Amino acid sequence: MHKYIVMRAQNYGKGTQARMLQKAIPGLVHISVGDIFRWHMANHTKLAARIHRITSAGNLVDDEIVEEIVKHRLGTHDWNYGFVLDGFPRSRHQAEFFLESFDIDAVIHIVVSDEVVHKRVMSRRLCSGCGLDYNLIYHRPAEDGICDVCGAPLESRIDDTPEALSTRLKEYHEKTEPVLNLFRRKELVLDVDGEKDSEHIHAQICEMLKLSSLAK
Ligand SMILES: [Zn+2]
């Protein structure tokens, strides 16, 4: 059984590497904290109502809720061949709990410099009509500023300002460094160059994990 964790700044890449890894290892279950949240929101669950109460009061969803949903998700035990966890742990406390509960094989740390994260995030655009994501670096619309699918104008996300991103990155480093240091002491961390394209990143991960790559 394989048990992996993927860590990446700003959750950049939307779980692409975790999904590619899932395809490379038959039966591996991809557990994405972001996907679980989106599922609850789409299905108007009790948890969604709770999150809505927190965010509409102007507060951030805290680590405890995240911990709760991850514990619940892992508790379903539908991962006989293992899992790749994406978006967790977020604090040293959660990392300690995790190490006590599970034998982790590796922590895949996708390394992207803050400068590159800035460039990529600032070039994100969102369709105001259908919500499709674009990126002016590698997923440009055919016509500038117009959605390929529905023709509505593209917009920047409200929270994608340089100031807001700097704050998010600072918080990310403050919270993540202790988690990474803990995993590093257990010799679990594999640092992967995240500034390459996704095929290259996947090939690096497969080589480090001694798996045969999808790209071959
Ligand atoms: Zn659109």
Domain boundaries, the chain: 2-112+176-208
β-sheet bridge partners, residue 124: 135
Q: How remote is the CA of residue 134 from the centroid of ligand 1, in Å?
A: 10
| Catalytically annotated residue among 3, 50, 140, 168 | 168
pTM for this entry: 0.80
154 phi and psi, to 5 degrees?
Answer: -90, 145
- Domain 2-112+176-208 in CATH 3.40.50.300? The answer is yes
Burial of 211 (0-12, 13-18, 19+ CB in 10 A): middle
Q: How remote is the CA of residue 165 from the centroid of ligand 1, in Å?
A: 25
Q: What is the pLDDT of residues 17-58, one digit of tens each?
A: 899 999 999 899 999 888 888 888 889 999 889 988 887 887
Active-site residue, 120 included = no
Whole-number pLDDT of residue 216: 44
Q: Tell me the pLDDT band of 151, cut-offs 50, 70 and 90.
A: very high
Q: How far apart are CA 79 and CA 92, in angstroms?
A: 24
Residue 145 φ/ψ region, left for φ over 0, alpha for ψ in the -120 to 50 degree band, beta for the rest = left
Active-site residue, 157 included = yes
Q: Give me the chain's average pLDDT, please.
A: 88
Q: How far apart are CA 25 and CA 209, in angstroms?
A: 11
Q: How remote is the CA of residue 32 from the centroid of ligand 1, in Å?
A: 25
| 3 state DSSP class of 30 | strand
